[in-house]
Amino acid sequence: MTYAAAGVDIDAGDEVVDRIKPVLRRTHGPRVMGRHGAFAAMFRLDYNESLFKRNYTDPVLVACTDGVGTKVMLAIEMGRLDTIGIDCVAMNVNDLIVQGAEPLFFLDYLGLSKVDPADTASIIESVAKGCEIAGCALIGGECAEMPDIYKPGDFDVAGFAVGVVELARATDPTRMEPGDLILGLASSGVHSNGYTLVRKIIEAKGLDLGTRYKALESDRTLGELLLEPTRIYAKPIVSLLRGYRVKKVVTGMAHITGGGLPGNLNRALTDDLDAVIDRDSWTVPPLFRFLQKHGKVAPDEMDRVFNMGVGYCLVVRPSFADAVTKKLEKAGETVFRMGEIVEGTGVVRYR
């Protein structure tokens, strides 16, 4: 008996490692140490001691982990594996920067039924692409071939991100106060939450992923819109925060994921403050209206499942709202002035 006959192909795994070697190196900077294929990766917190002292006095490491959920099933169905890794990176680094941290490095975990070198390399290459967008290094990962766990053709991908923030510059929700303004950054679509509901709507209504529906107001198919990668906000947010070395103009942030605005922006609030959101401050993209109509989904359910077109929020001092908006727009973001902070009980309210 052989391992290959049992369902695990060591040679295919080795081929994947060779294929992705140059892709990983593109994400590496001088901080990455060690050679490709080592048992563990090494990362210096800065290039040298003098530079480190200029950047950090009291550095705090920030870490998080997340996956992509059932969006991978849509990618499998469409035979498009070259973007799902971007989603994986986004779901992690967008959480990381909420704490005010700079993403440093990323590791991925890929579990699958069978290693097809080309397909597996495509997934990992998309992870590397996400790391390039986020400005962090892909320094390692794991590719596990488990035919007894995954059905043929199935896979799952998860990621682990580590960043650093100066303790004095870390996000501190206790600084938030009534009168602070809420800025929202546009999402690129559904991002990576709510796909179990999305897929149920598609199945129940017999929707065709390859069709360009008029109601979507796009020249792209339904499937293409749903596979649009999660927007990565890391570089614009890190650049913005670095621009205010002394003044702390941002008093809170939130990555809008599963739970929508009510279930995520509230996590940035203290128990004595509410976030009041003006529903007319942004236009909900047609894709969400399309899903709501075909699934007959109640408005409250849409609000707590999907981002509804807003992928990230910042709470800022009123006198700096215009300047922050201009900086973010210059970085390529679409910014909505969505509401304000008032006295309350730690919830998100609409008006």
How do the domains of the chain map onto residue ranges?
Answer: 3-169, 173-350
Checking DSSP bridges between strand 310-316 and strand 250-255, what pairing results, if any?
Answer: antiparallel
Residue 138 CA to residue 341 CA, distance in Å, equals: 38
Q: How far apart are CA 254 and CA 264, in angstroms?
A: 6
The CA-atom distances, in angstroms, between 166 and each of 53, 56, 66, 102, 170 are: 11, 6, 24, 10, 6
Task: Give, for 348, the enclosing helix (H) or strand (E).
Answer: strand 348-350
pTM score: 0.92
In the CATH hierarchy, which top-level class contains the domain 3-169?
alpha beta
Q: Is 345 helix (H, G, I), strand (E, B) or coil?
A: coil
Token pair of 344 as six digits:
């309350």
Residues 350, 342: contact at Cβ < 8 Å? no
pLDDT of residue 36: 65
Measured in degrees and rounded to the nearest 5, phi and psi for residue 206 equal 60, 35
Query: In angstroms, what CA-CA distances link 247 with 8, 139, 244?
Result: 55, 34, 5
What Cα–Cα distance (Å) separates residue 284 from each residue in 131, 227, 243, 292, 333?
A: 28, 18, 31, 11, 16
pLDDT for 109 equals 97
- The CATH homologous superfamily of the domain defined by 173-350: PurM-like C-terminal domain (3.90.650.10)
Q: Are 150 and 156 in contact (CB under 8 A)?
A: yes
The pLDDT value given to residue 13? 75
Cα–Cα distance, 311 to 156 (Å, whole number): 23
Return d(Cα 175, Cα 248) in angstroms, integer.
9
The pLDDT value given to residue 98: 97
State the Cα torsion 218-219-221-222 to the nearest 10°. Answer: 0
Biggest distance spanned by C-alpha atoms of the chain: 72
CA–CA distance from 12 to each of 8, 74, 119 (Å)?
A: 9, 25, 11
Give residue 2's pLDDT. 67
Q: List the 137-145 sheet strands across, edge first.
A: 59-67, 155-166, 102-112, 137-145
307 vs 30: CA distance, rounded Å: 37
Alpha-helical runs (H) found in 26-167: 49-55, 71-78, 84-96, 117-134
- The C-alpha atoms of residue 86 and residue 226 are separated, in whole angstroms, by 14
| Per-residue pLDDT tens digits of the chain, which is 351 residues long | 766 777 767 677 777 777 777 777 888 887 787 766 677 877 877 656 665 566 778 888 999 999 999 999 999 999 999 999 999 999 999 999 999 999 999 999 999 999 999 999 999 999 999 999 999 999 999 999 999 999 999 999 999 999 999 989 999 989 999 999 999 999 999 999 999 999 999 999 999 999 999 999 999 999 999 999 999 999 999 999 999 988 899 999 999 999 999 999 999 999 999 999 999 999 999 999 999 999 999 999 999 999 999 999 999 999 999 999 999 999 999 999 999 999 999 999 999
CA atoms of 304 and 98, how far apart (whole Å): 20
Which pLDDT score is estimated for 50? 62
- Rounded distance between C-alpha atoms, residue 76 and residue 227, angstroms: 11
